[in-house]
Amino acid sequence: MPQKTQDIKITSVLEENFMPYAMSVIVSRSIPEIDGLKPAHRKLLYTMYKMGLLTGPRTKSANIVGQTMRLNPHGDAAIYETMVRLARGNESLLHPLVDSKGNFGKVYSRFMAYAASRYTEAKLDPICAELFRDIDEDTVDFVDNYDGTMKEPTLLPTTFPNILLSPNTGIAVGMASSICSFNLRELCETTVALIKDPDHDILSTLKAPDFPTGGYLIYDKKALSEIYETGKGSFRLRAKWKYDKKQSLIEITEIPYTTSVEAIKDKIVELFKAGRLKEINDVRDETDKTGLKLTIDLKRSADPDKLMSLLVSSTPLEESFPANFNVLIASTPRIMGVREILTEWTSWRSECVARRVYFNLEKMKERRHLLKGLEKILLDIDKAIRIIRETEEEAEVIPNLMIGFRIDEVQANYIADIRLRNINKEYILKRTSELEELEKDIAESEDILRSKKKIQKIIIKELEDVAKKYGKDRMTEILYEDTMEKTELSREVPDYPCTLFLSRSGYFKKITPQSLRMSGEQKFKEGDSLLASFESNNKNELLVFSDKAQVYKTAVSAFEDSKASLLGDFLPQTLGMDPGESTFAMVDPLDYKGFLLFVFENGKVARVDLSAYQTKTNRRRLTGAYSAKSPLAAVIALTGEAEVVLFSASGRALSVKSSLLSSKPTRDSQGVQVMKLKKGDTVASARLLSGTSIKEPGRYRSRTLPALGAVLRPQDAGDPSFLPE
C-alpha cells in the first residue's frame, strides 16, 4: 500500500531547522566578537596557551591541531587553516599571533601553498601575552566545551582593541563582516584620546587603515569619515612600484591586501594578448623568500608613468576594500562605526579590569582573614602548642584551637597546617607584618572599584604600555589626492570604430567592424530583443538613461570588445544601478552639441540640450535626468532638425517637426503637449520619420499642436506593434 505523505509547512521547516542553523553560523562561526576573534581563532589560541606555548619552545603544528580538537571538533584541516592565517610566515596580520617556523604560504600569493602540519612548528607570539593577561583571575566567563570535559573562555581579555587591529572577514547567513586593520600605535593613541574625551576627532589620530601587504591607501576624507561613523563604506588601495631606468623594468613590490600577485599578472597578460600593452616585452613573478616582486620588462621607448597609469586603471594594482564593521555584542550582530566599537571595547575592558580587581580583592581579604588568626597566636605560642599536644584525637585539634583562641575554622586550619619549624616568633611576626600593607592594598582596590576614572586610568596605562612595547610604523602609506593629481597621467584610449548594441533587458555589446563582418545573428536571452544599435568610437562617451529618471555616464572604452554570440555586459549591474532600476535608452552624446527629445506617455515632448548633461567632474550618475511627472515613452538624440512620429497605444500616429519645439536648458523640463490623447490612451513609442515605413507622412501631420494625429494605416505600420489590437 502507498504510504501517506504528511504536509509540512515551509514556515515550520524554516523556524525549526534553518533559523537555528543561521543563528549558529552567525553567533558561533563567522562574525568576530569584541575581542577581535572568531570562535575558531579563540579555541586555537587558548589551546596553545594551555599547552604552555606562550613561553615554551615551538612544537609541531600537528600536535597543536590535535590538541585543539578538544575544543573545536570541525576537523584538523579547518583548524590548521586558521593557524596558517594567524602565523607570522603567512603575513596576513600586522601583528601575527602565532610565531611560526616552516612554510606557511603567503597571503599575497594563491599559488604559494602552505606545508602540511607535520612539517611546520609554532608557538604563541609574545603579543599574545596581552590577549591572555589575567585570564586566570576571573576577568572573563568560562563555559563547558562541546562534550563537557573541559572549560574554555567565551572571550579573551585583550588589553588593546584587537577587533580593529587584525583584518577580519566572514560570511554568515544573511549578513557578512569585513573589518580592515589599523596601526596598533595609532589605535592605542585614539582609544586613550576617546577615553579622555568622548568627542575626540578620530581622524586626527587614527589616520587611515593599515595593511600588512603595504602599498598605498588613496586618502578620501569623506569616505573614511563615513566608515568611521557608520561602519560601512569603501576606500581604495594601490600597489607600490619602482622604475629601474638602467634595465628598463618596473618592479612591483607591494600590492593591495585584497588581491594576489597571480591575479595582477594574469590581467597584465590578458591585456597584452589583447594588444593593449605594446610597451611591454615580458612580465615575471619573481616572488621568493625575500618577499613579493612582480617584474615588468619594458621596451626602450615606453613611458613608465603612462604605462602604470593604464595598469592601475585596468588591473588589480588598484582595488577597493569594502568595509562592513559587523561585530557580535552580547551574541547580537551590530554594524558599528569606529567610535562606537572603541566605546564598546572600553566598556567591556572596564568590566574585565573590575573583575580582576575584585578577584584580587577577595584573595587579599582571604589572606587578611588568615593572618588575623595567626596574629592571635602571637600572643601565646605556647598555648597553641599545648592545645595541639594535649588534644587526644586529631579531629579535635581544629575545634580546640577555635575555642582556645576564638578563631573560625578556616583560621584554625591555616594555623594547624603550619610546620613545627615555623612556630616561632620570627615567622609569625613576618607574616603578621604583611597585614599593614595588605590593609592598604585592600583599601586601594575597594577605591578602584568605586571609581570609574581609576579603572580608566588602568586601561590607559595598559594601552600606553602596549603601544610602546609592540607599536611600529605604518606599512600602508597614505597617498593624498593633491599628490595624485601631480603624478597621475590620463590613460591613453585606443581609437577605433565600433558598433554598440543594447537589448531591452539591459545587455550591452561593443563589437568591432571586423568581428561584426564575421558574426552571425545577435544572441539574446529568451524573451529579450534589440532595443537600440548605432555606430560609435571607442573614445566616445555614453549616456545610459534608466526608467527612474537617472542617467549614467560611462565611456565606450570601459567595456571589453564583445561578439554577436555573447550576451554582453548587464548594464544595471555594471553601472551600479539601484535595485529595481533598469535601462531605458542609450545615447552617444558625441561633442554635446545636439539635443534630446523626451517623449512622455501623456503626449508631452521635452527638447533638452545635450550640453545639460556635460559635466566638468567625472560624475558617473546624474539624478533628475528628465521629468518624472509622466512615464517615458522614448528618447531620441538629434544633432540637427528632423521629423519625429509619435505612436499612441490606440493606433494613431502624429508626425511633428522638431523645429516646432523650443529647447530647454534644464534636464527636468516637463515639455509641451504635442499629441492629444483620448481618455485611457497613452503614447506607446516614438521614432524618426526616416526610421518608419510611412509612405505618405502628410496624412499624419497637423497645422496646429497639440493634435490627435491620424489612424495608422496597415501599410504604414511596418512594425505590427504599431497597430491597435
Considering only CA atoms, which of 322, 533, 354 is closest in space to residue 458? 354
d(CA 622, CA 667): 10
Backbone angles phi, psi at 406, to 5 degrees: 55, 55
d(CA 237, CA 271): 21
Q: Given the residues 49, 108, 119, 358, select the one marked as catalytic.
A: 119
To the query of whether residue 119 is one of the catalytic residues in this protein, the response is: yes
Considering only CA atoms, which of 559, 526, 566, 528 is closest in space to residue 544? 559
Helix, strand, coil content of the chain in percent (nearest 5): 40, 25, 40
d(CA 644, CA 655): 6
Question: In the 8-state DSSP scheme, what is residue 317?
Answer: T
Does residue 48 contact residue 124 with C-beta atoms inside 8 Å?
A: yes
Q: Is 242 left (phi over 0), alpha (psi -120 to 50) or beta?
A: beta
d(CA 95, CA 116): 23
CB proximity list for 482: less than 8 A, separation 6 or greater: none
d(CA 604, CA 496): 38
Query: Which H helix or E strand runs over 324?
Result: strand 318-324
Give, in order, the Cα–Cα distances in Å from 116 to each of 84, 91, 103, 534. 10, 18, 9, 58
d(CA 132, CA 142): 13
Three-state DSSP state, 25: helix
Does residue 402 contact residue 408 with C-beta atoms inside 8 Å?
A: yes
Where do the H-state alpha helices sit in 565-614? 571-574
d(CA 81, CA 225): 34
Query: Which H helix or E strand runs over 267?
Result: helix 261-273
Dig out the grid coordinates for 629 from the structure.
511627472
**How far does CA 625 lie from the centroid of its chain?**
32
d(CA 152, CA 36): 17
Three-state DSSP state, 60: strand
Which residues are known catalytic residues?
119
